Amino acid sequence: SQQGEEDPQALSIQEGENATMNCSYKTSINNLQWYRQNSGRGLVHLILIRSNEREKHSGRLRVTLDTSKKSSSLLITASRAADTASYFCATVRSNDYKLSFGAGTTVTVRA
């Protein structure tokens, strides 16, 4: 399966702290994307990093990609209660462009 494996499955932090979650995958990718899902809602695209990129920033989000280790990390800095959600990584395979989701990390930010 191409699906990414996410680590940790759940994370609980205090408001203002940083949250880091990791995603590992198995095959060659064109890009890797991170999505956020509030409970029972649709997934919202956060950031996309291409296979030739190593790091990308968007506001309080920082994504890294290590293609040699087939892994990516998402860092949320200065977390807020509104960041409470599940975060999914999704990989787009380089041979057929198929997008597959990983299992997700549930982040709880305590006020």
Partner 1 sequence: AAGVIQSPRHLIKEKRETATLKCYPIPRHDTVYWYQQGPGQDPQFLISFYEKMQSDKGSIPDRFSAQQFSDYHSELNMSSLELGDSALYFCASRFQGKVGGTANTGELFFGEGSRLTVL
Residue with tokens 């590992």: 24
- Under the criterion CB under 8 A, does residue 91 sit at the interface with partner 1? no
- Under the criterion CB under 8 A, does residue 3 sit at the interface with partner 1? yes
CA-to-CA distance for 19 and 69, rounded, in angstroms? 21
Nearest CA-CA partner of 73 in 59, 54, 92: 54
- Under the criterion CB under 8 A, does residue 104 sit at the interface with partner 1? yes
- Smallest distance from the beta carbon of 100 to partner 1, in angstroms? 7
Total residues interacting with partner 1, rule: CB under 8 A: 23
Strands annotated E in the chain: 5-7, 10-14, 19-24, 29-37, 43-50, 55-58, 61-66, 71-76, 85-93, 99-101, 105-110
> Which of 8, 18, 45, 78 is the binder for partner 1 (CB under 8 A)?
45
- Smallest distance from the beta carbon of 87 to partner 1, in angstroms? 11
Which positions lie near partner 1, rule CB under 8 A?
3, 30-31, 33, 35, 40-45, 48, 88, 90, 92, 97-104
